[in-house]
Amino acid sequence: MKENTITLMNIPYGPILVVEDIPSILELLEVTLRFKGYPVVSARNGQEALEAISKEHPALIITDILMPKMDGYSLVQNLRTDPRTTSIPIIFLSATYVTPEDKLFALNLGAVRFLEKPVDTEEFLLTVAEVLTAGPSTVPKPMKEQEFYKGYRERLENKLRHKTNQIQRTERLLETLPEEQKPAFTTLLDEARGHRSEIQKELDELYSLLDQYKVTAGNNTTP
């Protein structure tokens, strides 16, 4: 009980907002935080997160990156360009966007930490406590819209290439495996195809936004 009381005193205001679309991971994060006495609210994607933030100002946001409707990168860009939310500390948590370039883009967006899945609960709780007790952090200036879209497009295109390569390797492997070993890799293949579809959908939406941006920019420069 004493440990929970001390932990709660370290929260400057508001709850911790956890943004995650996979129910089992969301539940794990919620249970882990609540066990230590933290108040928690949750959202399943960036759009739900923005709705939650409009109702109460969280002390910290922990968000996945690859999510439907609005992913973590877009969520953070929205928050950093809004004066009302620009100073909320954000921790990225991802199993997909884990290359050095992914992490650099996340930190340049304004995330204070980046953690990889699967979640190490001790490291996770230590990071949360450090961020909450660190005081106001120096947040970089929000990315310009064009800079954000360019970096975001590069991240998605890189992920799509990686996922396609992973699928092709798994398909080749399945052709050589004995029947008793195929079910496990078939499941992995289905998951990878699902992830690729999600990435492709986000990339198609981004291409559409970029086309609109070009049209708007062209109209603004027309004499």
Per the prediction, the chain carries an average pLDDT of 86
Give exposure, 79-107, as e/b (b: 16+ Cβ within 10 Å): bbbeeebeebbbbbbbebbeeeebbebbe
Q: How far apart are CA 69 and CA 46, in angstroms?
A: 7
Q: For residue 216, what pLDDT is reported?
A: 66
In the chain, domain spans: 2-133, 145-221
Convert the pLDDT of each residue in 45-84 to its tens digit: 999 999 999 998 999 999 998 888 888 999 999 999 999 9
Q: For residue 170, what pLDDT is reported?
A: 95
Q: Which is more confidently placed, 198 or 120?
A: 120
- Of the candidate CATH numbers 3.40.50.2300, 3.40.50.10420, 3.20.20.80, 1.10.8.60, the domain formed by 2-133 belongs to 3.40.50.2300
Q: For residue 149, what pLDDT is reported?
A: 87
Q: DSSP letter string over 24-53?
A: HHHHHHHHHHHHTT--EEEESSHHHHHHHH
Convert the pLDDT of each residue in 139-165 to its tens digit: 778 888 888 988 989 988 988 998 999
